[in-house]
């Protein structure tokens, strides 16, 4: 097992560090920046269906559901098709309205999640086209779908999903670009820019991983906290949910992810000098708004750990701890902003003596409902 861990103390850490490579593998052979050409076998097969879809419904659980939420922002913005993101476990029992013009995208690392599989069977029985995004080749979900794309992230052993998430988001970004360019909602020049930016992500993830030592220091300060809040807006909102999920599942600290603007509708009451608040506040279209959210937290003496874009000076002047990540297009930011959150949860869990790779009560593949 120690050989399989490749010198890392845990599979989770190994998998976090594999991301420059796994993200590259998930985009390899699927795009050419110079021409703006995008290729994905499974999408090509159903190209007309995608282009003419009335709606895309995404079904998934856990971290895969968070990747689905990122895809909602991507597909609606780049391809202008309405997207609904559903917990597979709720969707399957809700008597949902599904038509033959709907495309259902099922996202699953393991390809064995019982609820996601049941949601697929239900959508199939109503005539929808089912597209799968799986990591495990030949898995039940990969076999149950009409078409699909593999994420090629390589085996993920740690129960906490890390590299599968970034691979899913990469594949979904490519899908959103393909549909957008076929529908004419995304210009070729924009596609070329986005491809070039996506190609630069592995090197930027490498940069973000260099923050490890700084994150170890921050983890020492907060390892005994009993609660955490994670806030983000826009593309970083699903990342806030993902950061909170990572922390709770492996460190057993209660954590909540929230869209930053919703804070004033309730969670702001939780903030006092004991409350660590992780704010993902990178330079994007909601930057000015999140600056005010940080001020609101500071006014109530919350401890702000801010993830910011390199060179930012405004948020660092207010936050207690600042983690600087490289700049990128807001569409791709989740691929970078999630990295420090994965490391933060990892180090806090290790410092608390938790079993990081196999947390209590959890299984890697949830094959029961």
The residues assigned a catalytic role are: 364
Q: Which residues of 119-145 are buried (b: 16+ CB within 10 A; e: fewer)?
A: bbebbbeeebbbbbbbbbeebbbbebb
243 binds ligand AGP (CB under 6 A): no
Shortest Cβ distance from residue 108 to ligand AGP (Å)?
Answer: 3
**Would you say 304 or 339 has its CB closer to ligand AGP?**
339
The window from 19-27, 104-112, 169-177, 320-328 that contacts ligand AGP (CB under 6 A) reads: 104-112
CA distance 59 to 104: 7
Nearer Cβ to ligand AGP (63/170):
63
Nearer to ligand AGP, 211 or 338 (CB): 338
Among 31, 38, 56, 61, contact with ligand AGP (rule: CB under 6 A): 61
Name which position in 22, 109, 151, 293 contacts ligand AGP (CB under 6 A). 109
Q: Taking contact as CB under 6 A, which single stretch among the options 16-24, 58-66, 145-153, 309-317 is the one that binds ligand AGP?
A: 58-66
- Identify which of residues 56 and 133 has a Cβ nearer to ligand AGP in the complex: 133
Q: Return d(Cα 187, Cα 206) in angstroms, integer.
A: 30
Name the residue with tokens 């869990």. 349
Distance CA 2, CA 235 (A): 37
C-alpha–C-alpha distance, residues 175 and 74, integer Å: 9
Rounded Cα–Cα distance for residues 109 and 87 (Å): 15
Give me the torsion for CA of 247, 249, 252, 257, rounded to 10°.
Answer: 50
Q: Of 64, 129, 251, 309, which one interacts with ligand AGP (CB under 6 A)? A: 64
Decide whether 116 or 328 has the Cβ nearer to ligand AGP. 116
Q: How far is the CB of 131 from ligand AGP (least distance, A)?
A: 15
Check if the beta carbon of residue 130 is closer than 8 Å to that of residue 29: no
Residue 2: exposed, middle, or buried by beta-carbon count in 10 A (0-12, 13-18, 19+)? exposed
249 in contact with ligand AGP (CB under 6 A): yes
Candidates 9-17, 35-43, 295-303, 358-366: pick the segment binding ligand AGP (CB under 6 A): 358-366
Q: Which of 340, 338, 159 is nearest to 252 (CA)?
A: 159
Q: Does 19 interact with ligand AGP (rule: CB under 6 A)? A: no
Q: Is 319 in the site for ligand AGP (CB under 6 A)?
A: no
108 binds ligand AGP (CB under 6 A): yes
Sheet holding 83-87, edge to edge: 83-87, 55-60, 102-108, 129-134, 147-150
Q: Which residues, at least 6 apart from 362, have a Cβ–Cβ distance to it below 8 Å?
A: 159, 249
- DSSP state, residue 273: T
Write down the least CB distance from residue 25 to ligand AGP, Å.
17
Taking the complex as a whole, the smallest distance from the CB of residue 164 to ligand AGP amounts, in Å, to 6
Torsion of CA 40, 43, 44, 50, to 10 degrees: -150
Closest distance to ligand AGP from the beta carbon of 161 (Å): 4
By rule CB under 6 A, what count of residues binds ligand AGP? 16
Binding residues among 124-183 for ligand AGP as defined by CB under 6 A: 159-161
Radius of gyration, CA atoms only, the chain: 20
**Looking at beta carbons only, is 22 or 108 nearer to ligand AGP?**
108
Question: Which residues make up the interface to ligand AGP (CB under 6 A)?
Answer: 61-64, 108-110, 113, 116, 159-161, 249, 362, 365-366
């Amino acid at each position: 097992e120690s050989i399989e861990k490749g010198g890392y103390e845990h599979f989770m850490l190994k998998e976090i560090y594999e991301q420059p490579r796994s993200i590259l593998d998930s985009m390899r052979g699927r795009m050419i920046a110079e021409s703006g050409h995008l290729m994905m076998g499974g999408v090509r097969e159903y190209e007309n269906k995608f282009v003419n879809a009335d709606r895309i419904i995404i079904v998934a659980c856990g971290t895969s559901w968070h990747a689905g939420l990122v895809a909602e922002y991507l597909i609606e913005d780049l391809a202008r098709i309405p997207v609904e993101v559903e917990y597979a476990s709720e969707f399957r029992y809700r008597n949902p309205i599904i038509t033959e013009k709907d495309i259902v995208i099922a996202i699953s690392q393991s390809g064995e999640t019982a609820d996601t599989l049941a949601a697929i069977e239900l959508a199939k029985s109503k005539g929808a086209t089912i597209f799968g995004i799986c990591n495990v080749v030949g898995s039940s979900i990969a076999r149950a779908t009409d078409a699909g794309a593999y994420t090629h992230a390589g085996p993920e052993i740690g129960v906490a999903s890390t590299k599968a998430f970034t691979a899913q988001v990469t594949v979904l970004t490519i899908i959103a670009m393909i549909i957008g360019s076929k529908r004419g909602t995304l210009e070729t020049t924009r596609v070329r820019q986005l491809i070039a930016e996506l190609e630069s992500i592995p090197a930027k993830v490498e940069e973000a991983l260099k923050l490890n030592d700084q994150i170890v220091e921050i983890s020492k300060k907060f390892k005994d906290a009993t609660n955490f809040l994670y806030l983000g807006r826009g593309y970083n909102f699903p990342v806030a949910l993902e950061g909170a999920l990572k922390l709770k599942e492996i460190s057993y600290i209660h954590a909540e992810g929230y869209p930053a603007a919703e804070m004033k509708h309730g969670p702001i009451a939780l903030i006092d000098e004991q409350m660590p608040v992780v704010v993902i506040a990178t330079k994007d279209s909601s930057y000015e708004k999140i600056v005010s959210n940080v001020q609101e937290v500071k006014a109530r003496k919350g401890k702000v750990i801010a993830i910011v874009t390199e060179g930012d000076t405004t948020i660092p002047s207010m936050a207690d701890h600042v983690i600087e990540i490289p700049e990128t297009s807001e569409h791709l930011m989740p691929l970078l902003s999630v990295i420090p959150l994965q490391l933060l949860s990892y180090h806090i869990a290790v410092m608390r003596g938790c079993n990081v790779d196999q947390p209590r009560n959890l299984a890697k593949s949830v094959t029961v409902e």
